[in-house]
Chains A and B, each alone.
Chain A
Amino acid sequence: MRINVLFFAKLREEVGENKLSINLEEFSSATIKDLFDDLSTNYKRLSLYKGEIKAALNQEMVKDWNVKISDGDEIAFFPPITGG
């Protein structure tokens, strides 16, 4: 299955990409948490922010990172929001 992963703000700069299209068979990922751990092995500096990173699945904030990923999903990782 194929998913899109987006990065914003500081994380976009750390990863050096704003979007990755990933074929999940290449990863062992099944949940948001697994995906993040897999990405952290490729993009080591991501793990520096692990405690503060927020995630969204199909544009909805994800509180529980154990939520499963499905084909075509859009997953975004970003630092805490500083709007307004």
Chain B
Amino acid sequence: MTVFVQNKDFKAGETINRLSKENTTGAVVSFVGFVRSFYDGQSDAKDMKLEIEHYPKMTLKSLEQIEQEARLRWSINNVEIIHRFGELKMNDQIVLVAVSSSHRKEAFLACEFIIDYLKTEAPFWKKEITDSKEEKWVEIKEADINKKNNWL
């Protein structure tokens, strides 16, 4: 597994290219998460920001555990995860999870599993900053907990 935790943007195509190089890889499935407007029904709010904080020493450990869990369930070849931190704007890319395997089914399932676990287990926290500079830490969503628990 390769993990990048970085402030700078990334190109999903480069990751997919890297993962496709193995002879036994017949499928690469990738997920990219973006910053979306957190105003209900107001997409014209251009100055909103998202600030992402993380716990560097724990991040890699937790992602490795998630990957190991995925490998117990499915036969996959490789995993690459990129997660950004710091200040991001609307439409910016936040996270990439890409999984390669011999056949597509395993890659689809493992990719969904990893992002579902990452959202509730990998030590990242998001803060929303509105146009008027109001700050609010993002609360954990019931739906995200349920999505993770569905894998148990």
Binding site for B on A (CB under 8 A): 6, 8-10, 12, 56, 59-61, 74, 76, 78-84
Q: Are B33 and A82 in contact (CB under 8 A)?
A: no
Stretch in B15-23, B40-48, B50-58, B68-76 touching the partner: B50-58
5 contacts across the A-B interface (CB closer than 8 A): A9-B125, A56-B123, A76-B55, A78-B125, A82-B140
B118 contacts which chain A residues (CB < 8 A)? 83-84
B54 contacts which chain A residues (CB < 8 A)? 83
Q: How far, in whole Å, are A36 and B37 apart by their CA atoms in the complex?
A: 36
Q: Are A76 and B58 in contact (CB under 8 A)?
A: yes
Interface of B is mostly: mixed
Query: How many B residues face the partner with a CB closer than 8 A?
Result: 26
B57 contacts which chain A residues (CB < 8 A)? 59, 74
Interface of A is mostly: mixed
B137 contacts which chain A residues (CB < 8 A)? 9-10, 79, 82
In the assembled complex, the CB of B15 is this many whole angstroms from the nearest CB of chain A, namely: 16
B119 contacts which chain A residues (CB < 8 A)? 81-84
Q: Are B55 and A82 in contact (CB under 8 A)?
A: no
Q: How far, in whole Å, are A9 and B128 apart by their CA atoms in the complex?
A: 12
Known: A9-B137, A76-B55, A84-B95. A59 touches B61 (CB 8 A): yes
Q: Interface digits, B73-106 against A, CB 8 Å rule (1 contact, 0 not)?
A: 0000000000100000000001100000000000
